[in-house]
Amino acid sequence: MDRRQLLNAMVSRGTDAAAHNQSLPIAGGLNPYKGPWNYTTAAHLLRRAMFGPTHEQIKQAVTEGLGATMVRLLTKTADPGPPLNYTSTPADPYCNPGETWVGKRFTPSIQGLSQVRENSLNAWFMQNIFNEGVSLTEKMMLFWHNHFVVSDIFLANISYDYLTTIRKNVLGDFKQLTKDITIDGAMLIYLNGNTNNLRAPNENYARELMELFTLGKGPLAGPGDYTTYTEQDILAIAKVLTGWTTPQNRQQSDGSVLPSVSFVTQFHDTSTKQLSNRFNNAVIKNNGADEYKDLINIIFLKREAATFICRKLYRYFVYYKVDQSIENEIIDGLADTLIANNFNISTVLNQLLSSEHFFSDAAYGALIRPPYDWFFNTVKAMKMKIPSDYTLTYPLFLSIYRSVLNQNQAIFALPSVAGWPAYYQEPAYHEIWINSVTYPLRYTLGISVVNKRFGFRLNGQNNLIYGVEVTDYAAGFDNPGNAAKLIDDITAHLLPKPIEQAQKDYLKSKLLGTFTEAQWTAMWNAYIADPSNTQTKTAVENRLRPMLIALNSMPEYHLS
Amino acid sequence: MKRRSFLKTGALATAPLLINGIPVNAIARNSFLDFVSPDNDKILVLIQLTGGNDGLNCVLPLDQYSNLDKARNKILIKESLGLKLSDKTALHPSMGGMKSLFDDGALSLVHSVGYPNQNRSHFRSTDIWTSGSAADQMITTGWLGRYYQGNHPTFPAGYPNTDYPDPLAITVGGNVSETCQGPIVNFSLAINDPTALTTIPQPIYSTSIPTTNYGNELKYIMTTLQQYTSYSDIIKNANTAAGGSIAPTGNALLDRLNIVSQLIKGGLKTKVYVVSIGTFDTHSNQCDPDDHELGTHAGLLQQLSDAMKGFQDSLKKNNLDKRVIGMTFSEFGRRIKANDSTGTDHGTAAPLFVFGSCIKGGMIGNNPTISDNVQNDEGVAMQIDFRSVYASILIDWFQVEPSIVKQILFADFQKLPLIEGCTTTAVEDDSKRDFLLQLTTSPNPADQYTIIGFDTRDEYVRISLYDAIGSEIKTVFSGKTGEGHHEIRMDTSDLNSGNYVIRIASQNSQNVKILSIRNH
């Protein structure tokens, strides 16, 4: 008896129980979407594929059409320049402020230096999201980080290399990415591959490679047999992966390090490894530093290597609930595509994100925005102004990183190797993002950004404050002087579904305050006539802000 | 003396309990009605040790020390430094706080708690512990969620109300607890800092929410906001009434428990609080390689021990200690053998602690047995099923009828003598628990066969064979026995050489023995 039946038998459920936890209707399944293409459909696609698309980006997608927009989304963006050292406190002997620390030796004995490099990396990650353009690149960077989890590495150089490893195949070859990640320094450190050697095999990575990175754990079929793999396989695979280490290349004079990855032949178990019948009793012979490739090739012969990742992509981009019909009609088809295209991930992204199913009515607004999605939907879609001086850019993006931290989403600080629970924890899944702690945090953070009170201190100076340029944001719409039209346009931009007239009227009342619609028109026209006049600008800002704060406090704002 | 049937049926008959104006008995005939005795004011605090606690570093079986030394000399603490609970058992030297609770009779150490067919995945095993289900059962509700579901089938609609003015359960930290997950909603409210609860103006809500996926998620978020708004003043007021915030102590777990004690002191009727501490996933650098009494795990144990003691002291000071018990849990223990990274990998069973003034202090079960040839993947054999602990708490602390506990936990479990005194109702006669099931196996190591000997009363017993990682290989015997000594010949010729565990369990007792099989 499955869980549903069981509970139905045991407890009487509320009226909304039946609808709760249902998967999306299949609609047209994976058939290519041929329906209308307009602002609503384009916004849905860009919201899911990016972090907070701007009004202009959506309009461009409408003009260009679905096909051309998919081409844009599936084009990897140019690699961002490496992260920079943004401060002279403390001084970094191998890297001046304004230079990158990537590839430079690191001196652990200098108090606070490790933190500066990590801060720089975290800020840089946020900056890349902010500058993403119309591409799936950054959304997939975060996807892979949540898939091939590493956490608490505390060695920024190694963490940067890991992001480079991912970026190489961020929209590319999943099989190659799995190979590269298997011998990536951060992963070797995080899952103890670097201490996995001939004399004392450490099976930590071997286990997660099967359970979380490639095949998934099937039902228990017998002692130590998880259907997709067995405990015997874990022991054998641990042996295959012996010999990889992360030497620190310590310099004796100043104790500085430059960690790297190397294969030490004498640590490698050269015996022949026997896999179980779950792998058709495959045998892996000694192949030294290339043996891990043989292993990944064997793993990727199994269909689960495709179905498992497709299920995860579906949960990330479409909806969390995968029942048997989604499994049959969507996941299976995606897996076929992935296998037929040698695990090129962009082929399934293309198929999924331009399918009838993706554009079916029920798919709109059904996902709860994760913290990064939610936050960038505010600062990016509403055009926060970013200072160009790196000594300010980095602290600003660092404070963005920190401000989202307590909403339980933080890069390089994931709660476990399984990633963020919102992507796997039944039955709540993405509802985990929102609770009585995080909702008020979102509310207050939203206010600070809209009110331009989002700030940080730098070297004892006064609080530097930033936020969204609400006037620039409003000016992007067709007729901002028309209060009702502006509310229509803004809600169409920032909310996934139309809201009720009473809700729009409420937002309009926040915009108008004690003024009339005609007075708002006059205020707006006065501002446009002379945008440099701070008095008229402030008058308009003081009306836009309460409206945007009210929008931000609406439950609808947290859906995508 | 037999368990007295509780007054709750009578109490309900005279003063019908209403939920949203509907008498409860009209709502759900088929539900777990009347889980809670109306006058039961008992509180349970769960402390989750995330990551898998190394039980053998936490509780040292002194009588196994030489074999332990063979298996884990790179991390083993010095025998002489353990804080002795008895001649045979000692706590880690950093656990002075819990040692003093033990000496006061306020701590129960339950040995080798786990479940058959141990799953060594953090996630699956955590699900098993939080859902209170068997390893092969996929249950997504929490064991406490099911406990709440019966009395509160319509929650959160209409809550808070006059009968239930306070949150039903509270998680201190940024997340709700899976233990309180119901079929539709989670029954726990997450709070972080009761002194810093923002007031959010109520937006205009959508009035006709569609029954679509969008509609359901929208409703979830609306409910969260409404619940937050309704409960935040209640929490704020309770905290203020108890004297406001307590200054940070430097011990994050104690800080969270201090919030719990403030809210209890402030009069909240909340029955369950959940806090967590981690990560205990000590694959590497579990201890200082030069000084095994120090390091990551020692720090965590100290934090746990100090927090438990501090919490109990503050309850006592406020005269609330007779209303509160606490329980630790972790998804699994760790391997007996240390790995090459001064750490330990995922294992099987581990000790669990229950504390409070109403606890029958002492130890339940025996020290684990460590053989002289521990296998690489060998974990500590399970003696006591974790659902026995849950069942005992539900029955003896929350006074839930055993038949309903059986529904919540999907089966009957042996009840443990955890609770003593404090309850208004009499507890079950404990005398039959004193009987310890004797278990022998010979020859051991076995070659081709072994004879299992056991002494029982007139009762149902089950004897199972487990492999070293905790998978149940076979049921050797299951059925009713007469009183006296029994012997069963078990053929081992079809089994691979290695270490196995024989476990015998009855309704009231259990025992385990390690069996080595060396077939020639």
Contact status of A221 with chain B (Cβ, < 8 Å): no
The CATH class of B438-517 is: mainly beta
Give the separation between CA B220 and CA A321, rounded to whole angstroms: 15
Examine residue A528 and state whether it is found in any structural domain, yes or no. Answer: yes
Q: Specify the DSSP element, H or E, that contains A263.
A: strand A262-263
Q: For residue A335, what pLDDT is reported?
A: 98
Q: Least CA distance to A17: which residue of chain B?
A: B184
Helix, strand, coil percentages (3-state) for chain A, rounded to 5, are: 55, 5, 40
Please identify, among A302, A331, A363, the residue that sits at the C-terminal boundary of a domain: A302
**pLDDT band for position B195 (cuts 50, 70, 90):** confident
Q: Which of B30, B186, B192 sits opposite A428 (nearest CB)?
A: B186
> Quick one: pLDDT at residue B456?
86
The alpha-carbon gap from A62 to the nearest alpha carbon of chain B, in Å, equals 24
Say whether A16 and B211 touch across the interface (CB within 8 A).
yes
* Domain assignment present for A411: no
At residue A5 the predicted structure's pLDDT band, cuts being 50, 70 and 90, is very low
User: Residue B198: its pLDDT value, please?
Assistant: 86
pLDDT of residue A267: 96
**For residue B186, which residues of chain A lie inside 8 Å, CB to CB?**
428
The SS3 assignment for B110 reads strand
Whether A165 has a pLDDT exceeding 60, the answer reads: yes
Residue B36 has pLDDT above 80, yes or no: no
pLDDT at B506: 82
Give the residue carrying structure tokens 């332990």. B68
Once rounded to an integer, what is the mean pLDDT over residues A516-531?
Answer: 96
Query: CATH 2.60.40.2550 in chain B, residues?
Result: 438-517
Distance CA A377, CA A374 (A): 5
- CB nearest B213 (choices: A14, A24, A438): A24
Range with lowest mean pLDDT among A317-331, A467-481, B336-350: B336-350
User: Pick from A10, A202, A443: which is nearest to B407 by CB?
Assistant: A10
Q: In B, which residues are within 8 Å of A202 by CB distance? A: 283, 339-341, 345
Choose from A355-359, A402-406, B274-278 the range with maximum mean pLDDT: A355-359
| Amino acid of residue B85 | L
**With pLDDT > 90 as the criterion, what percentage of chain A qualifies?**
83
> Per residue in B285-303, pLDDT tens?
899 999 999 999 999 999 9
User: What secondary structure letter does DSSP report for B278?
Assistant: -
Whether residue A479 is contained in a domain is answered as yes
Q: Closest CB to A19: pick one of B27, B31, B216.
A: B216
Cβ neighbours around B398 below 10 Å, total? 20
C-alpha distance from B429 to closest chain A C-alpha (Å): 30
**Chain B nearest CA to A9, separation (Å):** 8
Model confidence at A276: pLDDT above 50 = yes
User: Which residue did the predictor score with more confidence, B373 or A1?
Assistant: B373
pLDDT band at B423 (very low <50, low <70, confident <90, very high): low
Contact partners, residue B178, CB within 8 Å, separation at least 6: A425, B126, B127, B130, B131, B142
Chain B positions in Cβ-Cβ contact with residue A17 (cut-off 8 Å): 183-184
> Does A20 sit within 8 Å of B216, measured CB to CB?
yes
Place B196 in a pLDDT band, splitting at 50, 70 and 90. confident
Tell me the pLDDT tens digit for each residue of B74-87: 999 999 999 999 99
Q: Which residue blocks in A221-276 are alpha helix, DSSP H?
A: 231-240
Half-sphere exposure of A532 (CA within 13 A, CB side): 0
Q: How do residues A44-56 score in pLDDT, each as one tens digit?
A: 999 999 999 999 9
Q: Is A491 on the interface with B (CB under 8 A)?
A: no
- Determine contact, residues A346/A70, Cβ cutoff 8 Å: no
| Whether pLDDT at A30 is above 60 | yes
A530 phi and psi, to 5 degrees? -150, 80
**A417 at B interface, C-beta within 8 A:** yes
Identify the domain containing residue A488 by its residue range: 470-558
User: What single letter denotes the amino acid at residue A280?
Assistant: N
Query: What was the pLDDT predicted at B310?
Result: 98
pLDDT of residue A274: 97
Burial class of residue B220 (count of CB atoms within 10 Å of its CB; 0-12, 13-18, 19+): buried
State the angle between helix axes of A534-552 and A501-512 in degrees (0 to 180), rounded to the nearest 10.
Answer: 150
A555 touches chain B (CB under 8 A): yes
State residue B481's pLDDT score.
87
Of B141, B228, B345, the CB nearest to A204: B345
Torsion of CA B30, B32, B33, B36, to 10 degrees: 180
- Rounded CA-CA distance A238/A244 in Å is 11
Q: In chain A, which residue's Cα lies nearest the Cα of B211?
A: A19
Contact state of A559 with B221 under an 8 Å Cβ cutoff: yes
pLDDT higher than 90, residue A13: no
CB contact under 8 A, A499 and B212: no
**Predicted local confidence at residue A427, as pLDDT:** 85
Question: Is residue A443 within 8 angstroms of chain B, CB to CB?
Answer: yes
- Domain boundary at A249, A267, A302, which? A302
Indicate if the pLDDT at residue A8 is higher than 50. Answer: no
For the cut 50, the answer to whether the pLDDT of residue B466 exceeds it is yes
Q: Give the chain A residue nearest B139 (alpha carbons).
A: A3
Q: Which residues contact B114 (CB under 8 A, 6 or more apart)?
A: B332, B333, B348, B349, B350, B380, B382, B384, B385, B386, B470
- Mean pLDDT, range A512-523, rounded to an integer: 96
Q: Is A137 on the interface with B (CB under 8 A)?
A: no
Determine the 3-state secondary structure of A41 from DSSP.
helix
**At residue A513, does pLDDT exceed 80?**
yes
The residue among A252 and A130 whose pLDDT is bigger is: A130
Q: Do residues A362 and A559 touch, judged by C-beta distance below 8 A?
A: no
Higher pLDDT, B36 or B198: B198
Which of A435, A442, A553 should we substitute to test contact with B (largest number of B Cβ atoms within 10 Å)?
Answer: A435
Query: Whole-angstrom Cα distance, residue B133 to residue B129?
Result: 7
Report the pLDDT averaged over residues A533-554. Answer: 95
Q: Residue B374 pLDDT > 50, yes or no? A: yes
CB-CB contact of A191 with A205 (8 Å): yes
Binary contact (B340, A197; C-beta < 8 A): yes
User: In this structure, is residue A519 part of a structural domain?
Assistant: yes
Contact assessment for residue A554 and residue A503, using Cβ atoms and an 8 Å cutoff: yes
Assess whether pLDDT exceeds 80 at residue A18. no
Nearest CB neighbour to A319, from listed B30, B31, B213:
B213
Instruction: Map residue B169 onto helix, strand or coil.
Output: strand
Listed residue (A296, A194, A305) closest to A237, CA to CA: A296
Nearest to A203 among B181, B207, B345 (CB): B345
Residue A177 has pLDDT above 50, yes or no: yes
Given a cut of 80, is residue B431 above it in pLDDT? no
Q: Which residues of B touch A6 (CB under 8 A)?
A: 139
Closest CA of chain A from B458, distance in Å: 32
Tell me the sheet residues that pair with B361: none
DSSP state for residue A314 in the 8-state scheme: H
State residue B21's pLDDT score: 34
Find the angle CA(A186)-CA(A190)-CA(A192) to the nearest 5 degrees: 110
Nearest residue of chain A to residue B24 (CA atoms): A12
Check CB contact under 8 Å for B153 and A10: no
Count of structural domains within chain A: 2
Among the partner residues B211, B227, B467, nearest to A436 by beta-carbon distance: B227
Q: What is the pLDDT averaged over residues B5-25?
A: 32
Which of the listed residues A280, A302, A324 is the one where a domain comes to its end?
A302
On the question of pLDDT at A488 being above 90, the answer is: yes
Sign for the CA dihedral angle at B462, B463, B468, B471 comes to negative
Q: Give yes or no for residue B12 having a pLDDT over 80.
A: no
Q: Which residue has the higher pLDDT, A437 or A168?
A: A168
Q: Which of residues 349-408 of A touch B (CB under 8 A)?
A: 361-368, 406-408
C-beta atoms of B212 and A425 within 8 A: no
For an interface test with B, the pick among A360, A437, A558 (most B C-beta atoms closer than 10 Å) comes out as: A437
Q: Is A204 on the interface with B (CB under 8 A)?
A: yes
Each as own residue / partner, the long-range contacts of residues A58-66 (CB below 8 Å, 24 or more positions apart, any chain) are: A58/A493, A60/A134, A61/A134, A62/A37, A62/A38, A65/A37, A66/A33, A66/A37, A66/A41, A66/A42, A66/A354
Mean of the per-residue pLDDT values of chain B = 86
User: Chain-centre distance of CA B116, in angstroms?
Assistant: 16
Of B146, B340, B377, the CB nearest to A200: B340
**Residue A463, pLDDT score:** 74
- How much is the average pLDDT of B81-107? 97
Would A549 be classed as within a structural domain?
yes
pLDDT score, position B434: 52
- SS3 state of residue B229: helix
In the predicted model, what is the mean pLDDT of chain A?
92
Q: Residue A10: pLDDT band by 50, 70, 90 thresholds?
A: very low
Specify whether the CB–CB gap between B60 and B77 falls below 8 A.
Answer: yes
Closest CA to A402 of A118, A163, A161, A187: A118
* Residue A31 structure tokens: 């058939």
Q: Which residues contact A189 (CB under 8 A, 6 or more apart)?
A: A150, A153, A155, A158, A246
Is residue B398 predicted with pLDDT exceeding 50?
yes
The token duo for B110 is 């339950």
**Closest CA in chain A for residue B205:** A503
At A460, the pLDDT band (50, 70, 90 cuts) reads low
DSSP letters for A92-139: -TT--TTSB-TTS-B-TTSTTHHHHHHHHHHHHHHHHHHT--SSSHHH
User: Which of A468-482, A530-544, B329-343, B422-436 has the least mean pLDDT?
Assistant: B422-436
Per-residue pLDDT band at B435 (split at 50, 70, 90): low
CA B274 to chain CA centroid, nearest Å: 11
Is the pLDDT score of A366 beyond 80?
yes
- C-alpha of B322 from chain center: 20
**Fold held by B8-423:** Alkaline Phosphatase, subunit A (3.40.720)
Residue in A421, A500, A559 nearest the CB of B214: A559
Neighbour count for residue A298 (Cβ, 10 Å) = 17
A424 touching chain B per CB within 8 A: yes
Rounded Cα–Cα distance for residues B153 and A252 (Å):
67
For A60-85, what is the mean pLDDT? 97
Residue B463's H or E segment, with its range, is strand B459-467
Q: Which residues of B touch A448 (CB under 8 A)?
A: none
Q: Cα(A397)–Cα(B327) distance, rounded to whole angstroms?
A: 42
Residue A16 has what pLDDT?
41
* Residue A364 with chain B: CB contacts under 8 Å: 214
